[in-house]
Amino acid sequence: MKNSKYITGIDLGTTNCAVAYMKLPEGDEEYGENVLFYIPQVVEAGAVEERPVLPSFIYSPGKVELPSGSISLPWKKDIDYTAGEFARTYGGKLPHRMISSAKSWLCNPNIDRKAKVLPWQSHEEVKKYSPLEASTLYLKHIKDAWNHTFSGEEGESRLENQEILLTVPASFDPVARELTVEAAKSAGLTVTLLEEPQAAFYSWLSEMGDDWRKEVHVGDLILVCDIGGGTTDFSLIAVGEEDGELRLERIAVGEHILLGGDNMNFALAAHVRENLKKEGINIDSWQFQVLSHECRIAKEKLLQEKTLEAYPLVIPGRGSKLIGGSVKGEIKRTDLEKILLEGFFPLIASSNHPKRKTSLGLREMGLPYAEEPAITKHLAKFLSSHLKSLKNFPELVKEKQTFLHPTAVLFNGGVMNSKILQTGLLDCINSWLEKEGSPPVKLLQSTDLDLAVAFGATYYGIVRKGEGIRIRGGTGSTYYIGLQSSMPAIPGMAPPIKALCVVPYGMEEGTYADIPEQDFGLVLGENVEFRFLASSTRREDKIGDAIEDWQEDIQEISNINVELESEEKEGKLIPVKLQSQVTEVGTLELYFVEKEGENSWQLEFDVRGK
């Protein structure tokens, strides 16, 4: 943004939001220091304090539940919800009134992401928000907190006037990216998107300064392993050379895996529930939700404080047997390490990939969590599935390899702050490498895995201005539209669907392309729907290619719609061409462009759910 005073990086996380900023130079000045913005928020009833992160939780109290002014903010006294620390701690005891994991709901293709469904399955009297609205509320809190903090400065310091880099998972599909930008716009912010694993790597580059060239070398393949509260995200960055200088290129992005700290909390809660059953104590679904939030606190404490051997848990009582009392339990360190290491980071063979499990025909709606909890299995699949797609990189793929061999690993995400979990994952990777005759990976050290994405996003703002080194990448998937084949009707057989490539892998931001040799005839005044498909492994498909046998490695991710409105007579068939564009902010746009006129119509992603 022109005339910005600061570059601002925002990590809109599943569990926590963080903000970093850097003052832009004036005249001959140098860039300011990359610093953390401490976010004012309600931390307990009636108390507002600055904290390094804004926990991604929203709580809506009942009308007479809290004393007047308990959740008031300095910039808004009359407010009917609270976001941040108090929402997390207080809402954890009353989960039916609390929104969590809004980011995961925002990318859930099975629901209408603009429908007021959160808190999920809450009581009728509880105020509901859509996943889009919840994401907007976090960003609006950040904007208002920033503007309150900088209120003593001139208007140009307001957050809406700054250059803002907002991060998203690398595996976010175009629909989720577009909704994230829409949430920012609703909060009054103009943003550019950046993939979180890239932001983490930019943070490492910023920390290392010029010494980063001593840590990695030409031919290195860096695995960025980002495990947060809600998702697991894998990316690969290759180190090459161009004109005598090192070059970085993001060459692979994993699938969107809804697996992270939340799953670990549920696993620990299930363990405690089984122990309570042995004591003759049963807890209901409401108490289990409370228990899962208690287990999150226990997990964080036990992983951070090595001297703790156990952490006590207290669950509010329910039912006639427990009136006036509460249920007590504990998590032992030995049990926690066993559950996390054996359940989520087991030592497995590189050929051991997640297997699709047979599911019941009738199941509850909710978040589409990964069916396989072992993160090492998902990593094995990621490294193996991209082996074939990178055959044109002989420096990375050697003969008889069964998976891509990373030479270095950079961890990110709050879960990976734990040295125990880092060691478990590194041991597994190194066992695979040793079996195929490769040396162990090098661990790239990062200072703070909870804040790295925000710091890295700010640093990327400098890179966009020509300073530092840029990670090349473009789109992390190839995108297609499903086209029904033209053929005579055959009883009992639907016409086959071809996958038409509309965005090739690696298409850069700020570029557009016409789909060649493919004309469409569309009727004015009618709504037209297309199937939208993607693949993270097919790299050689060119724009305009029509793939007939695609079901194995191309997945359907959404529908897209367009209604051709025009002043001309409805019902008229007009010839159009399809045009694709990757915008500067990082979203994907598709247009039908009239061949013999000046009209164009944008195709819109369907966010209503499957």
- Chain-wide mean pLDDT for the chain? 89
Mean pLDDT along residues 281-298: 91
Can you give the pLDDT at residue 250?
A: 92
pLDDT at 13 over 90: yes
Q: Which amino acid is at 52?
A: P
Edge-to-edge, what's the strand order for the sheet holding 245-253? 442-444, 408-412, 221-227, 232-242, 245-253, 471-472
Q: How far is CA 157 from the centre of its chain?
A: 29
Peptide bond connecting 119 to the previous residue in cis, omega within 30 degrees of 0: yes
pLDDT recorded at residue 321: 47
Mean pLDDT is lowest, of 15-24, 165-174, 426-435, 522-531, for 522-531
Distance CA 487, CA 97 (A): 54
Q: Side by side, which strands form the sheet with 555-563? A: 511-523, 573-582, 588-594, 600-605, 555-563, 527-535, 478-484, 497-503, 546-547
* One-letter identity of residue 86: F
Question: Could you tell me the two tokens for 483?
Answer: 């086209």
pLDDT at 527: 77
pTM score of the predicted model = 0.90
Which amino acid makes up residue 566?
S
| 583 close to 567: Cβ distance less than 8 angstroms | no
Distance of CA 452 to the CA centre of its chain: 15
Burial 502-536 (b: 16+ CB within 10 A, else e): bbbbbbebeeebebeeeebebebeeeeebbbbbbb
Share of the chain above pLDDT 90, in %: 62
Q: Which domains does the chain have, with CATH numbers?
A: 6-189 (3.30.420.40), 261-344 (3.90.640.10), 478-605 (no CATH)
Nearest Cα residue to 475 out of 383, 581, 568: 581
Structure tokens at 304: 């951070």
Question: Which residue type does 415 have?
Answer: V
Summarize pLDDT for 126-154 with one digit per residue, the tens. 999 999 999 999 999 999 999 999 976 66
Q: Report DSSP state, residue 548.
A: S
E runs forming strands in 243-287: 245-253
- Side by side, the strands of the sheet bearing 82-83 are 82-83, 57-59, 98-100
The tokens 């597994």 sit on which residue?
Answer: 428
Query: At 393, is the pLDDT very low, low, confident or very high (cuts 50, 70, 90)?
Result: low
Per-residue pLDDT tens digits for 88-132:
999 998 889 999 999 999 988 888 999 999 999 888 889 999 999
Of 87-91, 317-321, 404-408, the range with the lowest mean pLDDT is 317-321
Least confident of 297-301, 533-537, 569-573, 585-589: 569-573
Identity at 46, one-letter amino acid code: G
Query: Are the beta carbons of 460 and 199 closer than 8 angstroms?
Result: yes
Give the per-residue pLDDT at 320: 47
Q: Is the CB of residue 481 less than 8 Å from the CB of residue 500? A: yes
Checking DSSP bridges between strand 471-472 and strand 16-23, what pairing results, if any? Answer: unpaired
In this structure, the number of other CB atoms found within 10 A of the CB of residue 419 comes to 10
Q: Is the pLDDT of residue 361 over 80?
A: no
Q: What are the pLDDT digits (tens) for 465-507? A: 988 889 988 898 899 988 876 656 567 666 688 899 999 998 9
